[in-house]
Structure 1
Amino acid sequence: MRITANQKQEIANATLVKLDALANRRQVWQRDFYDKSNKALYALLSDCLGMYYEIKGSSAEKVVLEGIKANLEGRGIKVQTSTPVLTLIVKYVFNAERRRASAYSRALRVAAKESISVGNFAEWVIKVGGIEEVASTKGITDETIKKRSQLDNKVAEVKQLLVNQLQHPLSLVPKTALAHPADSAEYTLLIGKMLASGQTQVLSVVPGSTTAMIEQAIRKIAQELLNKVDEHIKAQAELAAQAAITEAANQAYFKEMA
């Protein structure tokens, strides 16, 4: 069903109202939560993704984008004819400096390419390793899927190892006034300094350890374990290759002697 020019303009106006509401939420986040919690940021970005799904391919897309561009230009923000839709949305909502806006836009483009739903966006970003990690990828591949599956499996193993380790902790840190049990997630984080001997001096509890922070730390442990496995496999492969070369050389030598 075709819609009239007036109807398209009404849709465009309604879309800008939604984007303005998102921009207002961004201001609150930037004022109260910036550098404190990724939860609010991921919620904003997931809603930006939702706006993209709403705009892209709609019958009023052209009029909506014209309205967004006019608003941005009115703010002194440069846009080009070829500027991607998601970049326009990010610029509108975040009014951010170029590098940060670019990272958000790239991350959202990867999410859209992988058909990540609005509701699953935050969890997906955390699993991948954060906005910068998502932004640095070019989209999903079979190898990416395989590695993510391996990492997810290893994360589950690490979580079970942590549960088992509760019976035999590496150390017990004295009670501190910096943190209280109610301030942290299931686990908490510590900060320390590694000595030349390989031992670590535990210096302080990190107060207010969030679930996202803990999840990221666990994934770091899991990734390092996977790296160690890869290093072992590579070393074994190199030894096998060297053994094969030596065997071939020996066979050639004895053949000449014969």
Structure 2
Amino acid sequence: MNALLNAVDTTPVTTNVLLKDTTKVANVAVGTTIALTNMEANRINWEQGAYRTSNQALYAVLGDCLAFCGDLTLPEAKQRSESLESFYKDRGYTYKKDLPLATRVVRAVFGSRDRRRISTYSLVIRQAMKEKVLITDFSAWVEERGGVQEISLGKSATYIKPADKAEIAKNNLKGKTPIGYAKSELLSHVADAQYLGDMCVLLAEQQADGSFGVYAVLRQDGLVKSAFTSLYALGKEIEDKAKAEIKAANDADGAVAKSA
């Protein structure tokens, strides 16, 4: 009888269930850790193998595109453009002379189906041209910058934040004489001494006689800053106007090397 009792498991059923659940949870924990470790190893192998090899192959093609966009004499640059246009026609692509040379070359090499990819690769090549990256250093340069996506998303060295543009435009007005004054009885009602010396935006409509009819005085910071940002852009447009022709030529066919 005692032997029979000893053979019977007297552990409560609830205890058995808890032990089984605990063991199951432990097994899941071990299984998921192993799965994650294996996936991590596969990712490392992929990054160091197929992914790296694929990227290196891409950088080699982009390096060739960069070399194609190199400096040429004016006659050579014209011949390059003519050959590029002929290549487009043979492939049935639409050729746009006003696009940057790098963009036209990338479209010729990669086709015209994926516009986002063309834009990304073109930005990378143009940035490399600006920084005068050597063809032999191109792949290393892309990797150091974090890849083509990081380069294409990166800000230009001349990038200025909109808030800073607004501040620059505002400072440029200091000491200058206003181009005109708006004064009326109705306007005097919206004038407030607490805003004396502060900038505002006048919502106006140009009249046939050359005057401006003011409908509202807007003082919101966002609107004033936006107006200053627009003023900054207008100033830059005027400043760059004299250089527009040269810049357009460089964008179209690359920098033209001086003849010996």
Give the shorter-chain TM-score range: 0.3 to 0.5
Q: Which of the two has higher C-alpha Rg?
A: 2
**TM-score, length of structure 1 as denominator length:** 0.38
Bigger RCO of structures 1 and 2 (CA < 8 A, at least 6 apart): 2
